[in-house]
Amino acid sequence: MRSIDWQDGHIVAIDQTRLPGELVLMEIHTVEDLVEAIKRLAIRGAPALGAAGALGAAIAVRDPGRRDKALDALRTARPTAVNLAWGVDQAMARHVDGPDAVLAAAIGVLDDDAVRNRALGERGADWLATRVQGPVVVQTHCNAGALACVEWGTALGVVRSLHERDRLGHVYVDETRPLLQGSRLTSWELTEMGIDHTVIVDSAAATVLARGLADAVVVGADRITANGDVVNKIGTYPLALAAQRAGRPFVVAAPESTIDLGLVSGDQVEIEVRDPDEVLAIGGLPGTATLNYAFDVTPADLVTVIVTENRVLRPELGERPA
């Protein structure tokens, strides 16, 4: 099953807010409904947002009078991840050829995502398999699996490739507060794949590394800037610091579409601040002030490798995407 797809003239997508309790498919017929689904994280994950942007463009071009307003709302639905606007641009590059051409380009984005991320997973598994003796124990953060993409996954794509080679030992899953994408979504995906894993609270992430329980950290990315800075789910930066201290590789797995050469460094990225209620929902005092950053910036010198479908970069050694 694809996490997001086009069927019978509309978008069909897994509602990720309903997992792990139930697997619910949404039918989305308008850009307005798509934007709402993106904002409430029913559709989330950088590559999946790219697919959503492309399919949303295919809907928008059906109504020329409202097209530009709809596309602007779609592009800005979540400001930090670069893939959303990228997906819109990929589909709209064919708009002069008519709505059918835009739809064909959008479906091409979905098909391409599955191929590219599987190649990325194999490349990441190759890199880890040559540096770790025996089964590889991975620690990951947030959700960068099939749910965050179209079919395969980025960080969990690497995990899947290791698993298929019988080179995966175990996976430690950071719960990823406040919305628990790790304990809800990554744990669900790993369970579906039959992969042994352990969920840990975010505040235990550094201790897992310090005690030598994990061989490597593998995460996804929502944007990678020209200097190699990595923007990813909040909590990634301290995990990178802990990995460096523990002498463990910090691996970022992301497709080339996540690299934004238009921004020099992570300091230029707009970091989304989300609803305080997300923080206070579990044991919080209503009305308490919160600062709910959705993402953080990991400096390039903390990143051992960036793995894409095409290459392996070593930011900590000065290699840059540009």
| Phi (first) and psi of residue 221, to 5 degrees | -155, 150
Residue with token string 């295919």: 58
Enumerate residues 6+ apart whose C-beta is below 8 A from 222: 46, 80, 81, 82, 83, 231, 232, 233, 258, 295
DSSP annotation string for 126-167: HHHHTTSSSSEEEEE-S--SGGGSSSS-SHHHHHHHHHHTT-
Active site residues: 222
> At 138, phi and psi to the nearest 5?
-110, 140
Contact status, residue 14 vs residue 23, Cβ threshold 8 Å: yes
